[in-house]
Amino acid sequence: MSSQQEILSDGRFSCVTRDPRFWEMPEKERKIKIDKRFRAMFHDKKFKLKYTVDKRGRPVNYTSTENLRKFYALSESDSDLSESDGKERTKKKIKKKTPKRQGEADS
């Protein structure tokens, strides 16, 4: 840690601390936002692979969907819209079914 401070205090490398190219990427921007059209890739069996060894031959116990969640995120606006759309659709179905039942009982 002290060697890193020495490097940053060195005049030859002082531009590194001020240059945005070398800043660490914010965690919110690290993941790519996925549209609601592609949300099935998190749940579909076609996208799921179970790995037994990594690329160096060491045994591992994880699946490809964990990797997908690591690099991709559902966009917040689309996920909020999809949840509200689903609630509205169920309400519409309930509203449509109830008047028909009442009308059938009258006739």
Residue 54 lies in a domain: yes
Residue 70 lies in a domain: yes
Residue 11 lies in a domain: no
Provide the 8-state DSSP code for 107: -
- The pTM of the full predicted model, rounded to 2 decimals, is 0.44
For residue 66, the enclosing domain spans 25-78
Residue 20 lies in a domain: no
Closest to 69 (Cα-Cα) out of 46, 42, 47, 45: 42
Residue 42 lies in a domain: yes
pLDDT tens track for 52-101:
888 899 998 888 888 888 888 887 765 444 455 555 555 555 555 555 55
Residue 43 lies in a domain: yes
The residues, ordered by sequence, that sit 6+ positions from 33 with a Cβ below 8 Å of its Cβ are 72, 73, 74, 75, 76
Residue 40 lies in a domain: yes
Residue 7 lies in a domain: no
Count structural domains, the chain: 1
Task: Give the range among 15-19, 35-39, 68-72, 86-90 with minimum mean pLDDT.
Answer: 86-90
Mean pLDDT of 44-48: 85
